[in-house]
Amino acid sequence: MKALFALLLSLVGSTCFARLDGPPPRPLFERVEVLGASVSSGRGLRVDFGDALAATWTNSAVAIESRAEQHFFLKPVERATRQIDAALAAEPTLIVGVDFLFWLGYGAGGPSGAALKSEDERLALLDRGLHELERVRCTLVLGDFPDMSAAVGHMLLASQVPTTATLARLNARLREWASSRKNVVVVSLAKLVAGMRAEEAVSIGATTFAPEETRRWLQRDRLHTTERGLVAVALAVDEALVEAGLVRREELRANLDDVVEHLHAPRATK
């Protein structure tokens, strides 16, 4: 009996010692990296998505670095790889790419960089991007593929827009890939944009936005968000993190007008 008791004590002691010996878990917002294209870069705005995201968090000392590029669409695979390389070098705790995958489904170029030959090549291009993202080990938030065909004639060419069937395939492929990775959270921009296009009320968490509000979320080009639209997407990211059990609501600002007000307030670190 004494020998058994001594063995149990040694096991408990070694377990506790191992926990003290290991590195403590890093807070989710300790080091945030934003990846993406022109929406995340804040095209046409005075702020970018990193600013909007930080304004939704009550911790004003969050460190956020944005790698988003307005001309991502010119060389999507090359720029995606470069952004991931830079983000990982910073040892992030959270990576957010709401429009990071957009030009890996949209656009007129295939995986080789030559002109797109078939809709199947859009899936191949997405797979190239997902393969690069497999290197990410921290929490990763990605936006899915919304239907932005309303931007044709304003900012997009018809040849750059996937068919309705291809959009469905792209989103199915993304969710299949994400389902086997515990660190990946997908935000449904597709659902958000569908509600806006249908002139229906759009809900983000416990807040429902009337069409009178959501009409203010896109610029005239029908592709890029306004400042309020950028904040709405940030709120959608927050809600996805809450639903995934990664963030407590007390850490967030959920009122869009309140966030817009904080968006222009000085913060400790960018």
Q: What are the extents of the domains in the chain?
A: 25-263
Mean pLDDT, range 178-194, rounded to an integer: 97
Strand order in the sheet with 184-187: 64-66, 32-34, 94-97, 139-143, 184-187
Q: What is the mean pLDDT of the chain?
A: 90
CA distances to 5, 51, 128, 218, 219 from 151, rounded to whole Å, are 72, 25, 26, 10, 10
Question: Class of the 25-263 domain?
Answer: alpha beta
Res 1 pLDDT > 50: no
* Residue among 140, 151, 135, 137 at smallest CA distance from 38: 151
Tens of pLDDT, residue by residue over 29-45, are 999 999 999 999 999 99
pLDDT of the residue at 10: 41
Q: What percent of the chain has pLDDT over 90?
A: 84
Tens of pLDDT, residue by residue over 52-92, are 999 999 987 788 999 999 999 999 999 999 999 999 999 99
Reported confidence tier of residue 22, pLDDT bands at 50, 70, 90: low
Residue type, 119: E
Span of 52-56, 60-64, 194-198, 225-229 with lowest mean pLDDT: 60-64
Indicate the pTM of the whole model. Answer: 0.89
Res 225 pLDDT > 80: yes
Two tokens, residue 6: 């001594």
CA distances to 3, 7, 97, 147, 205 from 185, rounded to whole Å, are 49, 43, 10, 20, 15
Residue type, 218: L
